[in-house]
Structure 1
């Protein structure tokens, strides 16, 4: 380290504010050995202060913030589970409820069992790791891996039309899909419509659809 670098380094370590600003930009994983410092950086961040002001001003409550967080986990979990083999979970649910589909959502962790749930969660975690190792594909119907519902994407123009016609929530759009095209709507489809618009105007979709 030359003299200029030493001076800059000395200036940095003696100015706590600048040092913390720099450390705040370090990836989360690199600071995993410093949990107390991570917590402090989060609390002191401008984003956190912005959130606390919004709650204090009554823009929304802390509970509403947490519910949004849980919905995010629900959406991410739905996307992850599309990429794994859920046979072990399906078999367990069949054993418990048979054809009584309405009873599925009433099952508890104890009903399913820790071993089954642990295996599913491990598979989901591994799918996240695998996803970061492969090239991200812009359009889901072009994906070569994962459990992609090609039947849904083959009718994406119809789903888009329903979304434009007022089925703007995932719940409503999913109900429409089940009633009209016999399949479910992925959680990500509304975000896709907002970002990419009408699939009938997407060259890659038209080319893919022509081969179906």
Structure 2
């Protein structure tokens, strides 16, 4: 398959090919499996990267240990997870813990995995993984934030209701469109079903909540 580039894109590609340092930096950020066919290149891009050299030098000078480095990473991930989790509906988790400790809030600190339940923990981890994807989605992916074209604010302000209708069985464009006309007094955008299959419940999307909040002011 041949990709045809515009002249401007060709010029940028040519500039990148000539600028070896910039190209190497770009390649170093690729997932390793993308360079499986170039094992030596993959190895050298990583081992000779100045940041990797700096890390190895710091280890050698005992400025920190690998474990301390790892722990700092996980501490940062803890913050990410908390910020995403508080934006999610986690009542099922609270209900589960409530049944175990009741009003003894201090007991929460000593709960074991098997007490909370593997199924509950798996559910929240899956929801967090979905949130990660939503967090990094460019805002332009959300039609209600589009800078160009006509936005049906009447529909998008009530996208949560349309999502609920979809969950209740209005799963085709025709059925959901008819439901929207009857209940929201507007049409269902052709792209909505495809959008919700990617993003699911609008109420769990920070940008949508901000959009609705701004619309209600």
Q: Under a length normalisation based on structure 1, what TM-score does the superposition of the two structures give? A: 0.49
TM-score computed with the length of structure 2 as normaliser? 0.48
